[in-house]
């Protein structure tokens, strides 16, 4: 059932019907969470779909929020060192790099907190996030925006 419903969501998104796809994903998320619980890989998967749909719609803030949420869920369910958890944190970092500079600092602080919680302060993704945040702060000061 999950696979066929996700296929329908993907078809709607592929046809450019992003609002319909987002609604279908919301309904599926509600049903899966009720049936499986919030800490189940099916729940994580549908929420990653919701994150991707938000990204496709250009809503980077919502997409980043969903991806952070699912990375934390994966860390809880699968552990921080699991390849899927590591891939999830790489995805959220990569998405954050595409966010406009005006939104990036606040979202980066949230990202840094999540990756530090999951992987520790010395993890590569945490170090890259701090470097990017420092670069954004330097650029902001140079423009006189601090």
pLDDT for res 127: 96
Residue 79 has pLDDT above 80, yes or no: yes
Which pLDDT value is given to residue 145? 55
Cα–Cα distance, 77 to 27 (Å, whole number)? 23
Q: What share of the chain is helix, strand, coil (3-state, %, to 5)?
A: 80, 0, 20
106-121: average pLDDT: 94
The pTM of this model reads: 0.88
Average pLDDT over residues 108-120: 95
Q: How much is the pLDDT for 139?
A: 86
What is the chain's mean pLDDT, rounded? 93
Handedness of CA 101, 60, 106, 80 (dihedral sign): negative
């Amino acid at each position: 059932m999950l696979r066929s419903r996700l296929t329908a969501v993907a078809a709607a998104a592929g046809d450019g019907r992003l609002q319909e796809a987002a609604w279908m994903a919301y309904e599926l998320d509600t049903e899966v969470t009720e049936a499986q619980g919030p800490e189940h890989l099916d729940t994580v998967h549908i929420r990653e779909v919701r994150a991707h749909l938000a990204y496709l719609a250009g809503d980077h803030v919502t997409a980043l929020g969903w991806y952070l949420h699912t990375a934390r869920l994966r860390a809880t369910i699968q552990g921080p060192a699991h390849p899927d958890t590591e891939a999830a944190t790489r995805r959220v970092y990569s998405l954050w790099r595409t966010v406009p500079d005006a939104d990036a600092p606040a979202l980066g602080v949230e990202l840094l907190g999540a990756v530090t919680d999951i992987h520790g302060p010395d993890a590569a993704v945490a170090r890259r996030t701090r470097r990017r945040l420092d670069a954004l702060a330097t650029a902001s000061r140079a423009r006189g925006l601090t």
